[in-house]
Amino acid sequence: MTSRDPAPIMPPMADSPFGVIFDLDGTLVASEILYFRATERILAPHGRSLAELTPLERSLIPGRAAIENVRFYCRRFGLPDAPEEVSRRRMEMVCRLLEEDGVVLIPGADAFVRALRAAGARMAVASSSPRRYVERVLAITGLAPHFDAVRTGDDVTRYKPDPEIFELARRALDLPAARCVVVEDAHSGIQAGKAASMRVLAVESEQTLPHQAAAADRVVPDFRGLGVADIAALLEAPAPQGAVPSC
């Protein structure tokens, strides 16, 4: 994978620790195709397709827990099996596709993560996907060693847009919310990051509608050209009016 060089690295911020909490699917890796293909295989025997979904329905899918999406599909398409069974079968397909075809990083992701690590950032992954899948993606992409903590859908009782997963990740990094930036692509994830009183950097997604992404503090097409200075600028910007600090 090639990308433009990131912005110059700032000196390590040992005296002012900061954290970056990344979502995974659609944010660090272009993995939606795996879920798309697996879901289409589930729907095909019933003569249904994800192509039937409206743009708004599509925008609500990324960032939600797998079981929540499957419950939606079962209602939307009238699937006869229990959502728990459909979710299990779909995840088996996703994991099989991951092993067979691998997964592609979002452009610039590897360089950006390495730049943050070199500058002393504390980093976590906070994904609604199951832990076995998340850890396998991080291993396959080579990103695993760069993260101090991983929190997944297996660790929470409330899913995005609830901020629980980001708050768990923040505590694992031992930082206040004011020193953390959430990186997300999904509407529900952007909402969760803001609800956690953190700044949010949004990566553009075909599923997330423009007005949904606009709720973030900054929106970028991908990570190419981004560096530590961009995270510092988000942290140093004045707090949005009405924001509630969290410790």
- Based on its alpha-carbon atoms, the radius of gyration of the chain, rounded to whole angstroms, reads 18
Residue 245: the pLDDT is: 40
Residue 82: the pLDDT is: 97
Residue 63: the pLDDT is: 72
Which residues are 182's β-sheet partners?
Answer: 21, 200
pLDDT by residue (tens digit) across 52-90?
999 999 988 887 788 889 999 999 999 999 999 999 999
For residue 168, is pLDDT > 80? yes
For residue 15, is pLDDT > 70? no
Say how many C-beta atoms besides its own lie within 10 A of residue 52's C-beta: 10
CA distances from 57 to 47, 61, 97, 212 (A): 19, 7, 25, 13
Higher pLDDT, 240 or 31: 31
**Spatial separation of the C-alpha atoms in residues 125 and 151, rounded to whole Å:** 6
Residues above pLDDT 70, as percent of the chain: 90
pLDDT by residue (tens digit) across 200-236?
999 999 888 888 889 999 999 999 999 999 999 999 9
For residue 140, is pLDDT > 60? yes
Average pLDDT, rounded, for the chain:
90
Say how many C-beta atoms besides its own lie within 10 A of residue 187's C-beta: 27
pLDDT by residue (tens digit) across 87-120?
999 999 999 999 999 999 999 999 999 999 999 9
Distance of CA 80 to the CA centre of its chain: 30
Phi (first) and psi of residue 55, to 5 degrees? -55, -40
Sign of CA pseudo-dihedral 202, 203, 208, 209: positive
Model confidence at 31, pLDDT cuts 50, 70, 90, reads: very high
Q: By mean pLDDT, which of 10-24, 92-106, 166-180, 184-198 is the weakest?
A: 10-24
Residues above pLDDT 90, as percent of the chain: 79
Residue 239: the pLDDT is: 67
Which of helix, strand or coil describes residue 75? helix
For residue 246, is pLDDT > 90? no
- H/E element holding 20? strand 19-22
Q: By mean pLDDT, which of 5-19, 25-39, 66-80, 166-180 is the weakest?
A: 5-19
**Spatial separation of the C-alpha atoms in residues 179 and 246, rounded to whole Å:** 10
